[in-house]
Chains A and B, each alone.
Chain A
C-alpha cells in the first residue's frame, strides 16, 4: 500500500462521505464529525525549498455508526484534507471501516480500525497498532486506518485483545512544498523494508488490560513491521524494520494525582535492541483562587537507552505542561508546555487554546517554537519552522 492516495481509496472516501451524509439523516445512523479551515503562519524563512510564510488547508472528519442486526455494528470514518501547498498533505484516508460482532463475553471485529493504548500525555510509546498520519500534525493524535481482525475477550477483570494485522501503512511526511519539515524531503515513494513481503507482511499484536480501585494497567506485545521508519542517509528513503515489542503501561489515581508509566522493550535484527520509558504525573488544582478555573500540571520524563543513536528526538527529555480549563459556557481551555532536552539543552515551547463559538463552531489556536535547538541533531532541523495555527471547525 502506498502512502499517497490511490484512485480507489479516494473514490471510497468520497463515496463514503457523499453517500453517508444523507443516509445519516435517517434515525438508524449516528454520526459526528467536523469540517475545518486551517491557517498556518511561519515566522522564519525556511532552510529549504518551501518558501511560503503562510498556508491554508481544509479538512473533514466524520464517524458514522449503525447497528446491524441484534449484535452487529459498523463504523465508517472517512477523512480528507486539501492543502494549499503540500501535495503530500492533500490526502484522504479511511480511519475506520470496521464491522464488529458482539457476543456475551467476546467480540470479533474486522476491517480498518483505530486503536489507542497507553496512559501518558507527552508520548504513548506502547501505542503501536496504527501508523501515525504524521503529515497531519506533530503530535501522534492522527492515525491511519489499520487493516485488522480483532478478537476481544471480556473476562470479569478486564480485556484481552488479540490482533491479526494484514497489511502495513507507511508513515506520512511533509512533501517538498510542505511546512513544517526538516531541510531534507523524505523519499516516501521508495520506502524499503527488511522483510521481502514489504507492506503485505502480516503482523500480530496482543494486549491485556484491567483496573483495580486505584490502578489501570496494560501489558502488550507486538511482532511485525515497526511503525517508526529509520531514515536512510543519504538516500532519505524510509526503512521499515521487523521488530518485536513488549510494552507495559500503568496509571495510579490518587485524589488529584495521576501517576503514569509507559515502558517498552524493542528488538530486531536491523535495529539496536533497546528500552524506552515515559513516566510522570498529572496533578490538578480545582477552582484556583476561588474561580471556576481548574489548573492541571503535566510533568513527564521520556527516556530511550540508545541515547543519541536512537533517532528519537525524545531520548532524554522532560515535558512540563500547564492545562487551564475555564469551565465556562464556551468550554474554553488552554495548554502551555515546554519540552526540554536534558542532554543537549534543546527546548520546544508549545501553546494551544480552544473555545466554542456559538453552538456548533470551535476555534483552535496553536503555536510552536523551536527555541535553542542548536545542540540537538533532530530538533535543530526544525529551528526555522516556528509557526502559529488558527483553525475554525464546524461540528455536526
Chain B
C-alpha cells in the first residue's frame, strides 16, 4: 500500500467519518457483535470455579456430578484449561488438561489417578456427551470467534431483555450441529439462550443461561446453565460457584506434571 500524504489522509478520514460506505451485511454485523462480545472477556488472565452438574432423565431421576475447573487465558489462541472431577466417587481424582486452539486440533490429556497415568487422548470427539450429560464437548470448550461464521438474524426480546439474534455456523467439520442460534443480551453482550440444530437441521437442544454476575467490573459469568434436549426430554443443569479471577495461575499449572499433582 502506498503511503497517503497527510492532506489526502485528512480528506479520506473526513469522507469515511461522514459517509456510510455501504450498508453492513448481516454477516458483518454478526461477526462485529460476536467479536466485541468476545473482546469483553480479554484480559481475564486466569479463573477458577466449581460446578455442580445435575443430570435429569425423562422420568425425573437425578444424577449429580461435582467438577472444578481452572482456566488460563492464552493471547491469540485458545485457552488452557484443567477440569477436575470430584464426584461421582469412582472418578474422583480424575482430571483432564486441554490446550484449545482456534483453528488447529486441541491437545488433550487425561490423568487416571489409580494408575498414576497421564494419557494423551484424541480431541476429535466434539459431539460426544460430557460425562453422560446433555452438554457435548464442543458446548463447553473454549469459544473462539474463528470457530464459527456468523449472521445477524435480527433483534428480539427474551423475558423483557432486548437481544441480538445471531446465527453461528460451526467451521469445524466434525461438529454435531448445522447451526446455533444465540440470543445475546444487547447491553451485556452475553448469550441468554442458545438453540442447537442437529445435522438434519432439526432443533436438538436449548440452552438457557441465567444469574449473570459481573466479576472485576468486567467479566460476565452465568451462575446457572440449563440444557434441555428437545428430542429426548432429558436435561442437564450446571450451577457455578466460587468464581475467582486473577488467582496467579501460570503456564506451569497447566502441564502434565501439574495434572498429576491435582487434588
Q: Contact residues of A with B, CB < 8 Å?
A: 30, 32, 34, 61, 63, 65, 73, 102, 104-105, 107, 114-116, 119, 141, 152, 154, 159, 211, 213, 216, 251, 253, 255-258, 284, 286-287, 292, 294, 327-331, 356, 359-360, 362, 393, 395-396
Contacts and interface: CB of A to CB of B under 8 A. Distances in A.
A227 B129 CA distance: 41
A63 B105 contact: no
26 contacts: A73-B263, A116-B115, A116-B118, A141-B115, A154-B257, A159-B256, A211-B107, A251-B120, A253-B120, A284-B122, A286-B124, A287-B127, A287-B128, A292-B128, A294-B125, A327-B128, A327-B129, A329-B57, A329-B132, A330-B132, A331-B90, A331-B131, A356-B90, A359-B88, A362-B90, A395-B89
* Chain B interface size range: 35 or more
Q: Which of A115, A211, A251 has the most CB of B within 10 A?
A: A211
Nearest to A359: B88
Interface of B: 55, 57, 63-64, 87-93, 104-105, 107, 113-125, 127-129, 131-132, 176, 252, 255-257, 261, 263
B92 A159 contact: no
Nearest to B116: A116
A141 B112 CA distance: 12
Given A211-B256, A256-B122, A32 B132 contact: no
Contacts, number: 99
Nearest to B123: A253
B88 A356 contact: yes
A329 B63 contact: yes
B107 A154 contact: no
B132 A327 contact: yes
Contacts of A360: 88-90
A63 B129 CA distance: 29
Nearest to B117: A116
Given A154-B252, A286-B124, A328-B132, A255 B105 contact: yes
B132 A331 contact: yes
Contacts of A73: 261, 263
A78 to B, nearest CB: 14
A217 to B, nearest CB: 10
A63 B127 contact: no
A30 B263 contact: yes
Contacts of B261: 73, 102
Contact of B122 (A105, A107, A152, A258): A258
A258 B128 contact: no
Nearest to A96: B116
Contacts of A395: 88-90, 92
Given A63-B93, A328-B132, 9 more contacts: A32-B92, A63-B113, A65-B263, A116-B115, A154-B257, A256-B125, A284-B125, A286-B127, A294-B128
Nearest to A294: B128
Contacts of B57: 329
Nearest to A118: B117
Q: What 5 A-B pairs are tightest by C-beta distance, nearest first?
A: A395-B89, A32-B92, A395-B90, A116-B117, A30-B263
A34 B125 CA distance: 30
B125 A359 contact: no
Contact of A211 (B55, B93, B120, B125): B120
Nearest to A332: B132
A305 B24 CA distance: 70
A255 B124 contact: yes
A393 B107 contact: no
A359 B118 CA distance: 25
A329 B55 contact: yes
Contacts of A362: 90
Nearest to B130: A327
Contacts of B128: 286-287, 292, 294, 327
A253 B122 contact: yes
Contacts of A329: 55, 57, 63, 132
Contacts of B127: 286-287
A360 B86 CA distance: 12
Contacts of B257: 107, 152, 154, 159
B113 A32 contact: yes
B139 to A, nearest CB: 14
B113 A213 contact: no
B120 A34 contact: no
